[in-house]
Amino acid sequence: MKPRLIRFGILVIWVLTMISLPILRWTLGDQSLRYGIVFGVLIQVLLVLVILIQAWGFLNALFTISIIILLAWLAEWIGSSTGLLFGNYHYTQELHPQLLDVPLLVPFAWLMMLPPAWAVAAVLLGCPKKLGSWHSKIAFASLSALAFTAWDFFLDPQMVAWNFWQWDQPGGYFGIPWHNYLGWLIVSALITLIVGRVDLPIGPLLLVYLVTWILQTIGQGLFWGQPGPAVIGFLVMGTLLLITFFRLRRNSCKLSL
């Protein structure tokens, strides 16, 4: 089977899974929502994995994937245990299995969106083939962190509303402390500095970022009763996407899907 067909098939399953979540909740209750979310995350992770493996080869992709998962879990364990960077929060018992009170699904959620954020950053920098100087590496890490954190304007209010995690002292962004977003910026920038790459399959990863933006906007705006995060997430991620596609028209990035 051709690589494009494989990616397209996984993409269709992912989209259909996310579309089905409100139906599952209405027909089977809240408990089914958890299983639907877990399956949706795993399918999106699979899509990103296939994209990276097809572009880089199995071993190279596996190395990058493993480091992302390890560092993301470590950051979440330190954060939930100490309150550093993100603020004082804790995971509930809704998501299992857990390792030291951190759901194993959480670092995989980092994996499913960090490479798409790298693709956004790479386009904004003109799609360089490599990063030679520390100045360019820091710029790439900063833009990647911005693109990644933009997604959290959707994510955190939604996950708190579903009782997947909670803050000890709710903050000003729909119950989310503002310094949580500083933590997202710092951690995602550090992971990118350690393992981020610009030799990316830009087109497929941008498509993941775009579809995530669409699904989150529609889901929270129409089905999950969170119009505020839907509008703000739509504007924040949407602005980055608009700038990204404008840059694509002005540089030589290859956008093959």
Predicted local confidence at residue 252, as pLDDT: 65
Overall average pLDDT of the 191-199 stretch: 92
Task: Extract the tokens encoding 29.
Answer: 């209750």
| pLDDT confidence bin for 127, thresholds 50/70/90 | confident
Q: Write the pLDDT tens digit of every residue in 23-76.
A: 888 887 777 788 889 999 999 999 999 999 999 999 999 999 999 999 999 999
Statement: residue 225 has pLDDT above 80 = yes
Overall average pLDDT of the 146-175 stretch: 93
Overall average pLDDT of the 215-243 stretch: 95
- Average pLDDT over the chain reads 92
Q: What percent of the chain stands above pLDDT 70?
A: 98
| pLDDT confidence bin for 16, thresholds 50/70/90 | very high
Domain limits, the chain: 68-248
Go through the chain and tell me how many residues it has: 257
Task: Extract the tokens encoding 81.
Answer: 């245990």
Statement: residue 77 has pLDDT above 80 = yes
Residue 106 and residue 137: Cα distance in Å, rounded? Answer: 26
Overall average pLDDT of the 210-228 stretch: 95
Statement: residue 130 has pLDDT above 70 = yes
**Residue closest to 248 by CA, chosen among 204, 203, 210:** 203
Task: Extract the tokens encoding 244.
Answer: 């990204």
| pLDDT confidence bin for 1, thresholds 50/70/90 | low
Overall average pLDDT of the 228-237 stretch: 97
3-state per-residue secondary structure call for the chain: CCHHHHHHHHHHHHHHHHHHHHHHHHHHCHHHHHHHHHHHHHHHHHHHHHHHHHHHCHHHHHHHHHHHHHHHHHHHHHHHHHCCCCCCEEECCCCCCEECCEECHHHHHHHHHHHHHHHHHHHHCCCCCCCCCHHHHHHHHHHHHHHHHHHHHHHHHHHHHCCCEEECCCECECEECCHHHHHHHHHHHHHHHHHCCCCCCHHHHHHHHHHHHHHHHHHHHHHCCCHHHHHHHHHHHHHHHHHHHHHHCCCCCCCCC
Statement: residue 110 has pLDDT above 90 = yes
Predicted local confidence at residue 248, as pLDDT: 85
